[in-house]
Amino acid sequence: KQEVTQIPAALSVPEGENLVLNCSFTDSAIYNLQWFRQDPGKGLTSLLLIQSSQREQTSGRLNASLDKSSGRSTLYIAASQPGDSATYLCAVPEGGTGTASKLTFGTGTRLQVTL
Amino acid sequence: NAGVTQTPKFHILKTGQSMTLQCAQDMNHGYLSWYRQDPGMGLRRIHYSVAAGITDKGEVPDGYNVSRSNTEDFPLRLESAAPSQTSVYFCASSYWSRGGENEQYFGPGTRLTVT
């Protein structure tokens, strides 16, 4: 059974810092990995999707990397802003291609960016 | 595009009552699913569908029913609500093909309390 862990569980940084969020998964036979953010009381917003054939994806100040062999993904946030404060979740599909797999979510990292 | 919409945003139900949570998407996505999010349990898939007329059970289907009569809508019905169904419910959608799922998009959620 796939297990997804995120470290750290919580992080507080001053505005402007660069930061890295970590995601580990136990079964490396994944075909993509998705990063989401969730604001308190809100839904999940998709940030980046990395296919298994890719090593990196970038969107604005966000950069996500994927190393399937080591079962790890990192989300790099450059020049953090208070508006980045949220919970960040990584998720991987469980099951083979074409099986309409459920997403297995990580435990989440709660980020607070202070002024 | 409105993306994935859910109604209602909040609802309080009494034990034994029934209700339907609505989910609609306007992105012509084939794959739709329902998740519930509970503290300490993360997100768990309830039911899913890969096309109109096709539905299947997820991890935690007991007490819930779904139907898919068209591409856009995927309602979740609670026939006889129980306090254990107090949760936040999310609908998610994506393109689907036998090559694997693509980026999943989540709705804003329905916060349901069963008293």
Helix (H, G, I), strand (E, B) or coil at A78: coil
Q: Do A44 and B33 touch (CB under 8 A)?
A: no
B104: chain A residues, CB-CB within 8 Å: 34, 46, 91, 103
Give me the residues paired with residue B38 across strands: B42
Judged against a pLDDT cut of 60, whether residue A97 lies above it is answered with: no
* Nearest partner of B98 among A101, A86, A10, A62, judged by Cα: A101
State residue A5's pLDDT score.
95
State residue A98's pLDDT score.
52
Alpha-carbon separation of residue B39 from A9, A107, B44, B97 (angstroms): 14, 10, 11, 32
Q: Which residues of chain B have pLDDT under 50?
A: none
* Confidence category of residue A51, pLDDT binned at 50, 70, 90: confident
Q: Is A3 on the interface with B (CB under 8 A)?
A: no
Q: Do B106 and A46 touch (CB under 8 A)?
A: yes
Mean pLDDT over A2-22 rounds to 95
State residue A52's pLDDT score.
86
